[in-house]
Chain A
Amino acid sequence: MTKKPKLLKFIDILCLILVPGALVLILFYTPTERVMGSVQKVFYFHVSAAWAGMLSFLIAAAAGGVYLSTRRQKWDWLSLSSIEVGLVFGLIAILSGMIWAQPIWNTWWVWDPRLTTTAIMELIYLAYFILRSSLNTPESQARLGAVYAIVSAATVPLTFFSIRLFRTIHPVVIAAGGSGGSAFNMTPRMLLAFFVSLFVFTLLLIDLVWHRSRLAKIQAINQGEGV
């Protein structure tokens, strides 16, 4: 049986400390937004979750590419794990966004580019699991899964770009040439909490994907013994 690596243990502990730490920072350190009030605090985890989701789908596509050229199973495990974890992060982004949208936009859902793209992205990657589960051998699961992960990652920006040409009501917090000459429309305290959240979620992503990959490996080993 494979032993849990020291570095993974370290990241585990780091996440255990930093996730509540970021929450404390957001709840007590950041100022309350003038117009939106405390519901604005959803923003920190919302954007971080969306970022982690996007990043994991990119990792999945890259790992799929490496799998196709090397044909080593561990890359498929990484690809599969990233998509699974990314799906959860995407869901968190959508749900936290809805919680924010209800008081601010006065509706749970609008057909806005970012919302629609994220929802479609979730559907695309849900189909990934349907695809995998209806394939018989681990080899074909890995091979076709990799192809699908790469093609999907290529269409997500296309979807975003195509819906972007409609008008958007989603707030753009990070924009080139925002107010005050800075790219970020935030106070320094908000900025700090924001970057901490981003960092924590990225770390959490690495941690979860690593754990899930190890699980896939252990599963494969056990199945190999069972035959």
Chain B
Amino acid sequence: MNPFWDYLNAIWNILRKDLQVEWRGKQGVPVMLVFALLVVFLFNFALQLSPDLQAGLAAGLLWVSLAFASTLGLNRSVSLEQENKAMDGLLMAPVDRSAIFFGKFLSNFSFTFLVGLVLLPVFSLFYQQNMFKSMLVLVIILGLGAYTSLGTLLAALSIQTRTRDVLLPVLLYPLALPILIAAVEASRSILAGQPISDYQSWMTFLLACNILFTAAGLMFFETILEE
């Protein structure tokens, strides 16, 4: 088989393993989902939000809850490998380390995207506006793609420390700020029903973030994990 195919195969195997673990244990996505809903409720009381929420607030709320919830999944995806030294096994596999990054990134992305998809009807219900818009789903894909690729990289970094997963939010939130700003702004425009030309630049920006952080993951994942 050619090396490229091997590489894809390695990525797929890691992704499949993570999906399988999640399917059997159901310990990641449900926790993230409940947490995201709790964030929504906390904000609702803390900020005294009304049901006829403005588009701007709904978009912001959606992304804050997604960003908070993702941290749980990101931490779990790496700490899972630390238990029973499973990471050592992964590292010993005769594949390029960046394949591990891609596999982990894709599984993290799938889980958080699933949470996002469940949040959309909930938001539509609570805040009385239709959140099912194809462009909004696209923004969620682009935003979470950039967010989880950066998050996967930083989770691998923070798990090496003594404080373990406590560190991840401190590292991730300030660095992920541009992604969140762009995602919130694009979502706000979409929910306000503005034409695509109004938020096109934000979408391009998110796409650029995806490319940049995936490239960073490719470059540095091996360096982070070497012992």
Contact = CB atoms under 8 A, between A and B. Distances in A.
B224 A144 contact: yes
A130 B174 contact: no
B112 to A, nearest CB: 20
Nearest to A158: B178
A151 B224 CA distance: 12
Contacts of B161: 131, 134-135
Kindly state the interface size class of chain A when it binds its partner. 20 to 34
Contact of B178 (A68, A123, A150, A162): A162
B170 interface: yes
B174 A147 contact: no
A162 B220 contact: no
Given A135-B160, A148-B157, A165-B201, A155 B175 contact: yes
Interface string B90-101: 000000000000
B209 interface: yes
Contact of B171 (A68, A131, A143, A163): A131
Contacts of B158: 131
B14 to A, nearest CB: 21
B212 interface: yes
Interface in A72-92: none
Interface in B124-179: 150, 153-154, 157-158, 160-163, 167, 170-171, 174-175, 177-178
B181 A163 contact: yes
A130 B226 CA distance: 21
- For A127, A152, A165, which residue has the most chain B Cβ atoms within 10 angstroms? A127
Kindly state the interface size class of chain B when it binds its partner. 20 to 34
Interface string A113-128: 0000000100110010
Nearest to A132: B161
Interface string A152-189: 10110011011101000000000000000000000000
Nearest to B206: A162
B174 A120 contact: yes
A155 B177 CA distance: 9
A106 interface: no
A136 interface: yes
A124 B171 CA distance: 7
- For A68, A123, A151, A165, which residue has the most chain B Cβ atoms within 10 angstroms? A151
Interface of A: 68, 120, 123-124, 127, 130-131, 134-136, 140, 143-144, 147-148, 150-152, 154-155, 158-159, 161-163, 165
The 10 closest A-B pairs by CB, nearest first: A134-B161, A158-B178, A162-B178, A162-B181, A134-B163, A124-B174, A123-B174, A134-B162, A159-B178, A147-B220
20 contacts: A120-B174, A124-B175, A127-B167, A130-B167, A131-B157, A131-B171, A135-B160, A135-B161, A135-B162, A143-B226, A144-B157, A147-B224, A148-B171, A151-B175, A154-B216, A155-B178, A159-B178, A159-B181, A162-B182, A163-B181
